[in-house]
Amino acid sequence: MANKKVYIIHRWGGNSNERWLVWLGNQLKTIGYEVTIPDMPNSETPKIEEWVGYLQKLIPTPDENTFLVGHSVGCQAIIRYLEKLENIKVGGAVFVAGWFNLTGLESNKEKEIAKPWIETPINFEKVKSAASNFMAILSDNDPYVPLSETKKIFEEKLGAKVVIEKNKGHFTEGDDVFELPEVVRSIEKLAK
């Protein structure tokens, strides 16, 4: 049987050492997955071409045993990576605090960085054709992600199953999120 691989893509301003990502990687390794948590390029100023290009080099030949987990802008990077796949299907993707629009950005610099991610169209049909299953995990008090709008897009455009967590904010250490068992459960469901 082919090895199941999971790639965990961190958030804007994040890195591979964030506590719940490391925790998740260890949990998945324990149950037999190969896990990769890369440090994405220029994390403080994420750019679509740079992050998608990085994923294309990191995962050049994905297959149905490839699973992707994204956090925040990492979800967008995964969606845009999947959009570029031709005649290839991955096993699935789990999106944590994924977004298509953002609220609560404080500075003009933040708004400038977010603008291409928000305004560059996504071909959802192509994304859907590149993966068998999607799950989205959102928080009911995320200061950046508009819950009902985001939930609707994940459900209607990607056919994702959406799980709403209580009081997890943007799923960062600052929100006291150090473990996320729902992601392990989601990967297990997708991998069946």
**CA separation, residue 54 to residues 69, 74, 122 (Å):** 15, 12, 18
pLDDT value of residue 132: 84
DSSP state of 33: -
pLDDT single digits (tens) 99-144: 999 999 989 999 999 999 999 999 999 999 999 899 999 999 999 9
SS3 content of the chain, % helix, strand, coil (to 5): 40, 15, 40
Based on the structure, what is the number of domains in the chain? 1
pLDDT single digits (tens) 16-75: 999 999 999 999 999 999 999 999 999 999 999 999 999 999 999 999 999 999 999 999
What residue numbers bound the domain in which 122 lies?
Answer: 5-191
pTM of the model: 0.97
pLDDT value of residue 192: 83
pLDDT value of residue 1: 47
SS3 track for 53-74:
HHHHHHCCCCCCCEEEEEECHH
CATH code assigned at 180? 3.40.50.1820
